[in-house]
Amino acid sequence: MEIKVLGPLTAHEHGVSLVPSAAKPRQILALLALQGDHVVTVPTLMEEIWGQNVPRSAATTLQTYILQLRRKIAVALDGDPVRNAKEVLVTQHGGYLLQIQPGQVDVQEFEQLALSGRGAYDAHDYAAASALLGKALAVWQGPALVDVPVGGVLELEVLRLEEDRMACLERRIDADLKLGRHTEVVPELCFLAARNPMHENFCAQLMTALHCSGSSWRALEAYQRLREALVGELGIEPSARLQQLQHAVLSGDIGLGQSLTATG
């Protein structure tokens, strides 16, 4: 089985798609995949599908959705002498479990590469860190579950995944900065800072990249844009770290600028 949730939801067994067209069964499949090989309780599934407005017929309707998913799996397993649909989508006490082997969901690949990248970064092997974290980010094919209507449970899962992706991206850029790739990352950071005008880490990285590549005036402009956004939207000044970075740029202290990047 191969399942992807980092982008559009796809799931295949023996080359046959397991993804139903109806919205609610898609939600169930996505949640079971994200919790692969772990039981998702019936109340959790109901919360995802109906929120606080669970109908009286919820238990019967949920069983119908599970049956629809098993039918899709059965079609894909047709002729498989080892497994049947009930052994893949397993009924457990109080819930259901999608039997998945390690590496069959793209989230697992992303998390393993990101973990290895963090390990390389912590060991000061920035070239390996940049490569591994870049591979982790390449697993993503778009926003997580971009084509699945998400309820309260999946919404939190998607938020967690997006936060993990952002952390991975920040660390990969920081590894590139430590490798002296200042000019190379400027275009990417300009885009990220524009998309996230109050994101201090992206601003700090952009300021550092610009400052260390000889565009200190542009670094000061980036700081000013961040300050205007923070003051205008939240009524607060940039953090002390960003203010220190501004002073480093003003004083021409490249070494200090490098030491104040997001994860450095």
Report pLDDT digits (tens) over 26-77: 999 999 999 988 999 999 999 999 999 999 999 999 999 999 999 999 999 9
Phi, psi of 40 (to 5 degrees): -105, 120
> What would the mean pLDDT of 9-24 be, rounded to a whole number?
93
Q: What pLDDT shows up at residue 33?
A: 95
Which residues 6+ apart lie within 8 Å of 222 measured at CB? Answer: 193, 203, 206, 207, 210
Q: Name the CATH architecture for the domain at 2-98.
A: Orthogonal Bundle (1.10)
pLDDT exceeds cutoff 50 at 262: no
Which alpha helices (DSSP H) does 41-196 contain, by range? 42-50, 58-76, 85-88, 106-122, 126-138, 152-178, 182-195
Q: What is the pLDDT of residue 260?
A: 47
Give residue 257's pLDDT band: very low, low, confident or very high (50, 70, 90).
Answer: very low
pLDDT in the model for residue 263 = 46
Question: Which of 103-112, 125-134, 224-233, 252-261 is predicted least confidently?
Answer: 252-261
> What is the pLDDT at residue 254?
58
Mean pLDDT confidence for 205-228: 94
CATH 1.25.40.10 in the chain, residues?
182-264
Mean pLDDT for the chain overall: 92
For CATH 1.10.10.10, list the domain ranges present in the chain: 2-98
* Residue 56 CA, distance from chain mean position: 35
Is the pLDDT assigned to residue 261 strictly greater than 70?
Answer: no
- pLDDT on residue 255: 65
**Residues 235-255 as b or e (16 or more Cβ within 10 Å = b):** eeebeeebebbbebbeeebbe
Cβ atoms of 32 and 3 closer than 8 Å? no
Of the candidate CATH numbers 3.30.565.10, 3.90.1170.50, 1.25.40.10, 1.20.58.100, the domain formed by 182-264 belongs to 1.25.40.10
DSSP, collapsed to helix, strand or coil, labels residue 68 as helix
